[in-house]
Amino acid sequence: MAGLVALGLTRLLHGVLVSRATDHETYGLVGSLIAVTTIASLLLPAGLASAAAKFIPYQHGRGNDPAARGVYRLVLRVGWVGAIGLGVAAGWGAQVAFDLRMLDAIQVTALCTAFSMYSVLKSVLYGFDLVSGYTKLELACSALSLSATALVVALGWSVYLLPLAAGYALFTFGAWWRLRPVMHGAMSAPGSAQRREIAAFIALACVGTLCSQGFLQGTQLLANRFAAPREVAYFAAAVTLIAPVYFVPRALGIVLFPAMARAHGAGDVSGVRRRADLSTRALLAVLAPLVAAALPLAPEVLTVFGGSGYAGGAPVLRLMLVATYLAVVSVPAVNALSSGAHVRVPVASAVLGTLTGFAVVALLGGATGVGLGYLCGTAVTAGGPFVIAWRHHGMSWSGPVLRGAGVVGGALLASWWLPREPAIDAALAGVVLAAGALVLRGDLITLRRGRGERPDDSATGQPAVAGSSPTGRAGGV
């Protein structure tokens, strides 16, 4: 949790520093270039990260440590080739699309390459259960990125992407160094059948991740096409601001996905079901009041973030907050399916959701249309795996789903209809938070009792872990 909070705050504070040091158009461009590098990293590194998070602990669950080392070596070699190739392609593509200077294109290349390897090695660390090592590296690299960003802004330089690239590069080197002892011992390279299985999983993971998380980052690029130039900055701000919503589910999910893979490797299907049930109930109950309270405060949050000129992006931020809630609560279900033999379900849902979102954007246009398209697409992407896992494992989720949806939906409608005044927004946020906590009080009490009843995973020696993560990053597809 500490490491991921540092990661999220780094991106948030980087956005605050850059947005306040530049105008709307410049910050919109910076956000678009970050989106380009993130989307490029989803083409292969995201699939490799998911493969590492699945197959390394899966082999541990089977008691085959040499095979786990073989998976790591395969993932590392392919990861470097993909990261460098995608970095060069991203830099060239961004230069052509945005008419960049050579220095800016080099920044994009450096950021894409470093972020790609960061994504892969982060999952490898958790695949080998090196949680402490990950946390220390994340904290150190976040400190470097923020310090470098402050220096760039203070000196008036325009290399706004290099601080992030430097942090991810330091993480990559540190993770490689930390993993060196892991390779001491016998190693078994994956056979042809397992390589085909890993390759198929990587391909499916890349498609699913690109359609799901890529759609989030792609909202900034869609805004360049369908919204006014000034409104592009709204999406850059919204994507940065919703990152904290992912802190808890990402922290838990980085552990949840390997834990589920270990359980699958040990044949413990009941352990997978238990983790999916507890983590889904926790996310529905805990996040609903928090997201609902944030909806009325969208104008004030945007004003604090970038100044009064950003307050007009409140409708966009509200739509993307609701979409984020839907995406986050479905991730335990996605992990339960993709850590086993049902990876095609979340992938197919992600493809259909992306197509749905694009259709809505093309039909409506404008900033609100892009935000509404993302909401509709996310509902389809998240809904498919959620319903399938619900039925496949026989979950009792009706009550928590209805209560969580009622709290978030009611807050969204009230935020849209009431007049926009800071005092009214603050009062409404307080009322919504209190009402949400009251409505979901029973679910929270049930969760506290359920946590005390979780048995250890006797097959692996690992404690049962409940949690979730954003689709496709370091746990799931």
Instruction: Give the 3-state secondary structure of 65-105.
Output: HHHHHHHHHHHHHHHHHHHHHHHHHHHHHHHHHHCCCHHHH
Q: What angle separates helix 65-98 from helix 45-61, to the nearest 10 degrees?
A: 170
464 lies in some domain: no
pTM of the model: 0.69
CB 272 within 8 A of CB 339: yes
158 lies in some domain: yes
CB 205 within 8 A of CB 471: no
Instruction: Please report the pLDDT score of residue 170 as a whole number.
Output: 95
CB 223 within 8 A of CB 235: yes
Domain that holds residue 119: 2-452
255 lies in some domain: yes
Instruction: Please report the pLDDT score of residue 217 as a whole number.
Output: 64
172 lies in some domain: yes
Dihedral of CA atoms 297, 232, 154, 94 in degrees, nearest 10, equals 140
Instruction: Please report the pLDDT score of residue 464 as a whole number.
Output: 34
Domain count, the chain: 1
Give the span between the Cα atoms of 209 and 232, in whole angstroms: 23
460 lies in some domain: no
119 lies in some domain: yes
474 lies in some domain: no
Instruction: Please report the pLDDT score of residue 431 as a whole number.
Output: 92
CA distances to 79, 103, 285, 338, 395 from 391, in Å: 36, 52, 20, 16, 7
pLDDT of the chain, 477 residues: tens digit per residue: 677 778 778 888 898 899 888 887 888 889 889 888 988 887 889 889 888 988 898 887 778 889 999 999 999 999 999 999 999 999 999 999 898 899 999 999 999 999 999 999 998 998 888 888 989 999 999 999 999 999 999 998 989 999 999 999 999 999 999 999 988 888 888 888 889 989 998 888 888 877 877 676 677 677 777 777 777 778 778 877 876 666 665 666 667 777 787 777 777 778 888 888 888 888 898 889 999 999 999 999 888 887 778 888 888 899 989 998 998 898 888 888 877 777 788 889 989 998 998 888 888 877 778 888 889 998 998 899 899 988 887 888 889 999 999 999 999 998 888 767 888 889 989 999 999 989 988 887 777 665 544 444 333 333 333 333 333 433 333
95 exposed, middle or buried (CB, 10 Å; 0-12, 13-18, 19+)? middle
**Which tokens in the block code for residue 200?**
């198929």
Q: What are phi and psi of 457, to 5 degrees?
A: -80, 95
462 lies in some domain: no
Residue type, 169: A
DSSP 221-268: HHHHHHS-HHHHHHHHHHHHHTGGGGHHHHHHHHHHHHHHHHHHHTT-
